[in-house]
Structure 1
Amino acid sequence: MRIMKKVPVKQILTEKSKQKLAHDFEKQKNQLDQECQQLSFEKRKIEMKQNVSREEVSKRFQREIDRRRERIRWVEYKLEQLQVLPLGSEITEDEVETLVEVNVGDDWEILMNEGAIIVEDGKVIRIDE
């Protein structure tokens, strides 16, 4: 029988991949900041209308702004951690699904916990099974 299983994709940290990740995190942070500014603008615009509950509008928009600010803090934390990590470290970047053959007598724990795809500078360098 075959089943679907998630396998982590791990990236080996190089100078090139470290710069790319830092750039991606900065881009993500800027996008979230822009969304916060846009939400603040929309909030003020809607609050100016006569037939709306200002308190309710303010709460809803503030909730969304706070969510994005929390994500900004998380991205900043990831950026800080990236600076601390030494080159050659393996970081989990993604997960993919794969088909696994399951037979009677197989060790379920080993079957479900093994496997990873190791990538360095955009190229697969190893597949652990």
Structure 2
Amino acid sequence: MMRILQTVSVKQVLTEMSKYKLQKRFKDNKQQLKKECDQLLFELKKLERTRKFTPSGLKTQFDKEIEMRKEKIKLIDFQIEQLDMLSIGSELHDQDIQAIIDIKVGDNWDEVAKGKTIVIKDGIIVEIRER
């Protein structure tokens, strides 16, 4: 017998509760990114007043950081749109995890290699299926 690592897909069944939690998480992340943008703008203006740094290089770096956060906000807006379109009962890919699988001589490799999927509904495992 031998043990191997295998990637297992975890899917979440969308329920009213899980949809609400996802929406809240997206909105909280978006709010945090907006706060970071405001803080970066504030810090930039503060540093520009001290004139201890070269303004152009400093502004470029701050603009890059702000733009990076704005792109993340756009992605979150897209995810919120996608979530709103999904119906209750839809399965969402949540994550991939590693599992230890026991294999032995005589096992069907095609079956082992297919892997497994864990289905979760409101935090409870409701199904483990072969892919």
Give the TM-score of the pair, scaled to structure 2: 0.87
Q: Secondary structure at the match of 1:100?
A: strand
Q: Secondary structure at the match of 2:25?
A: helix
RMSD of equivalent CA atoms: 1.7
Mapped partners of 1:113, 1:68: distance in 2: 38
- 1:94 — aligned with what? 95
Q: CA deviation at 1:101?
A: 2.8
Q: Map 1:64-103; keep pairs closer than 5 Å.
A: 64-103=65-104
Unaligned runs of 5+ in 1: none
- 1:118 — aligned with what? 119
The letter for the 1-side match of 2:49 is M
Q: CA deviation at 1:50?
A: 2.3
Q: Deviations over 1:73-116 (max 9, x none)?
A: 101100000000111110011222211234567536x5344211
Mapped partners of 1:112, 1:68: distance in 2: 39
Identity %: 35
Runs of 4+ in 1 over 6 A off after TM superposition: none
Aligned length: 128
Unaligned runs of 5+ in 2: none
Q: Map 1:1-129; keep pairs closer than 5 Å.
A: 1-103=2-104, 106-107=108-109, 110-129=111-130
